[in-house]
């Protein structure tokens, strides 16, 4: 008799799988970037309409986790993830076959909604299966895997565009979704601590109320969101600053972008290393926030003194992305650990707010850049770091991770 294959939670393959789920959204965004011009030309659409394929995907991704979180708590991680991957796959197929820009935009919205399940369920599964330092180490590993993908995705998109045109890029996304669904169906064991027959509105309301009124949870969610905000301010501003102000060549910009992306991976790796050795999350977060704030002020100072150059700017940008990688696993740990029975709700809210903060910061940079230039990017980065610092101070002594046993004596309906 054969034994059915299962993903072992302690295995490297399991970490890679969860990281791949978290990487679906950035891959789906970055891999499609080189195809926007071809999409507009092929479908007789404007450049702004082609750009909406990214905006609608991000909108769907921001909204989806709000539903997936409580759904996974009530009905289980596996069926919720399969639902999301099915939507992602169908959205990719329809995108590849879209006869016009309207169909493509609708399909990308559906695909974004489906992608929201990946990160949400991955975070909830980690909270189900791991605790303490082991949990933080696993979250750091997921961050590493998830952030390697955006570094290589644009290059993959360029290669696919040359080989199979823009429709092939969406076809590859659909294949990725299908493969993830097959691995989920065959190898993922249900990890949710409890399930109910349905999802009542009152249950959703109570779950979100408990999370939103839990100071440690919402504080860490805000720190993670503002951290993503300072990183996305860089993502939005870097091509404008490096290409149009510092006038670097495109190939140099690509190398610099990869370097800053590697900074995220390095930061998450360091987090996993020091977290496994007992360093407190509160201290790690404070270090990441302070370094980012100092780097942002440094960028502003260089601009004021007219000393901004590739050699002076890049170390500060790498430091900022490194700090997001350093902070993200600890922030996720702090958001998920206190509410194991609501890990899906907490993970969904963390994912949604992260995306909303990223979209807001990048939009502000794009809006202010014509008037402020490099100050738009560095100013938004500094503002996000400052807001993260305020959230850290607001946490106070409650910023420490509370164990589930400590919460057992707390009225779950009352603010913590």
Shortest CA distance to 167 belongs to which of 4, 12, 41?
41
Shortest CA distance to 127 belongs to which of 227, 211, 243?
211
In percent, the amount of the chain with pLDDT more than 70 equals: 91
pLDDT along the chain (416 residues), means of 10: 69 86 85 84 86 84 87 88 96 95 94 91 88 82 74 76 90 94 91 61 71 91 93 82 81 79 88 81 92 94 87 91 92 88 86 86 84 89 96 75 37 30
Q: What is the pLDDT of residues 264-300, one digit of tens each?
A: 889 988 988 887 777 888 899 999 999 999 999 999 9
Question: What pLDDT is stored for residue 111 in this prediction?
Answer: 95
- Whole-number Å distance between alpha carbons of 20 and 14: 10
Query: What are the DSSP calls for 288-301, one per residue?
Result: HHHHHHHHHHHHHH
Question: What pLDDT is stored for residue 135 in this prediction?
Answer: 84
- Is-contact 13 7, C-beta < 8 A? yes
Please enumerate, as own/partner, the contacts of 248-254 that have beta carbons within 8 Å and a separation of 24 or more.
248/310, 252/310, 254/154, 254/155
Three-class DSSP category at 75: helix
pTM of the model: 0.79
Angle at 113 between CA 108 and CA 118, to 5 degrees: 115
The label of the residue with tokens 């951290």 reads 227
Treating both helix axes as pointing N-terminal to C-terminal, what angle do 47-75 and 12-30 enclose, rounded to 10 degrees? 150
Q: What are the structural domains of the chain?
A: 12-187 (1.20.1250.20), 208-399 (1.20.1250.20)
Return left, alpha or beta for 373; rule: phi > 0 is left, psi -120 to 50 is alpha, else beta: left
- List for the chain the helix, strand, coil content (%; round to 5): 85, 0, 15
Query: What are the DSSP calls for 351-385, one per residue?
Result: HHHHHHHHHHHHHHHHHHHHHHTHHHHHHHHHHHH
126-151 b/e with 16+ CB inside 10 Å = b?
bbbebbebebbbbbbbbbbbbbbbbb
- Whole-number Å distance between alpha carbons of 286 and 267: 14
- Is-contact 376 237, C-beta < 8 A? yes
CA distances from 384 to 222, 274, 335, 389 (A): 10, 25, 19, 9
Shortest CA distance to 33 belongs to which of 70, 59, 58?
58
- Whole-number Å distance between alpha carbons of 153 and 66: 27
- Whole-number Å distance between alpha carbons of 326 and 216: 19
- E-assigned strands of 245-340? none
Question: What pLDDT is stored for residue 291 in this prediction?
Answer: 96
| Chain length of the chain | 416
Shortest CA distance to 259 belongs to which of 311, 332, 327?
311
- Residues 6 or more apart in contact with residue 254 via CB below 8 angstroms: 154, 155
- Is-contact 77 117, C-beta < 8 A? no
Residue 212's CB is within 10 A of a number of other CB atoms, namely 13
- Whole-number Å distance between alpha carbons of 337 and 275: 14
Q: What is the pLDDT of residues 201-237, one digit of tens each?
A: 555 677 788 888 899 999 999 999 999 999 888 877 8
Query: What are the DSSP calls for 22-36, one per residue?
Result: HHHHHHHHHTTGGGH
Three-class DSSP category at 182: helix
- Is-contact 413 209, C-beta < 8 A? yes
């Amino acid at each position: 008799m054969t034994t059915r294959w299962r993903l072992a939670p302690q295995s490297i393959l399991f970490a890679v799988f969860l990281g791949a789920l978290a990487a679906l959204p950035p891959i789906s965004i970055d891999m499609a970037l080189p195809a926007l011009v071809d999409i507009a030309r092929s479908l007789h659409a404007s450049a702004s309409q082609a750009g909406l394929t990214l905006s609608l995907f991000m909108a769907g991704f921001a909204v989806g986790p709000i539903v997936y979180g409580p759904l996974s708590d009530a009905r289980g991680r596996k069926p919720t993830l399969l639902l999301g991957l099915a939507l992602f796959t169908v959205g990719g197929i329809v995108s590849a076959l879209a006869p016009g820009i309207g169909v493509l935009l609708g399909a990308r919205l559906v695909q974004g909604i489906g992608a929201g399940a990946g990160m949400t369920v991955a975070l909830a599964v980690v909270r189900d299966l791991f605790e303490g330092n082991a949990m933080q180490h696993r979250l750091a590993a997921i961050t590493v895997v998830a952030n390697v993908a955006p570094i290589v995705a644009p290059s993959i998109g360029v290669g696919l565009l040359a080989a199979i045109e823009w429709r092939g890029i969406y076809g590859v996304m659909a294949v990725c979704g299908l493969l993830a669904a097959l691995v989920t169906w065959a190898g993922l064991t249900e990890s949710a601590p409890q399930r109910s027959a349905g999802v009542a509105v009152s249950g959703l309301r109570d779950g979100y109320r408990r999370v939103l009124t839990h100071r440690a949870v919402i504080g860490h969610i805000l720190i993670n969101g503002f951290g993503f905000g300072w990183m996305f301010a860089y993502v939005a501003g870097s091509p404008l600053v490096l290409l149009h102000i510092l006038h670097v060549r495109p190939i140099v910009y690509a190398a610099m972008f990869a370097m800053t992306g590697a900074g995220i991976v390095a930061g998450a790796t360091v987090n996993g290393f020091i977290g496994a050795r007992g360093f407190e999350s509160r201290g790690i977060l404070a270090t990441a926030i302070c370094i980012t704030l100092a780097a942002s002020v440094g960028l502003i100072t260089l601009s004021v003194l007219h000393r901004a150059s590739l050699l002076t700017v890049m170390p500060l940008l790498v430091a900022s992305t490194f700090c997001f990688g350093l902070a993200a696993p600890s922030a996720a740990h702090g958001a998920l650990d206190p509410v194991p029975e609501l890990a899906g709700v907490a993970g969904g809210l963390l994912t949604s707010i992260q995306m909303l903060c990223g979209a807001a910061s990048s939009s502000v940079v794009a809006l202010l850049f014509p008037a402020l230039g490099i100050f738009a990017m560095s100013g938004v980065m500094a503002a996000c770091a400052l807001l993260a610092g305020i959230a850290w101070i607001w946490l106070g002594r409650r910023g420490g991770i509370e164990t589930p046993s400590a919460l057992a004596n707390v009225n779950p309906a009352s603010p913590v």
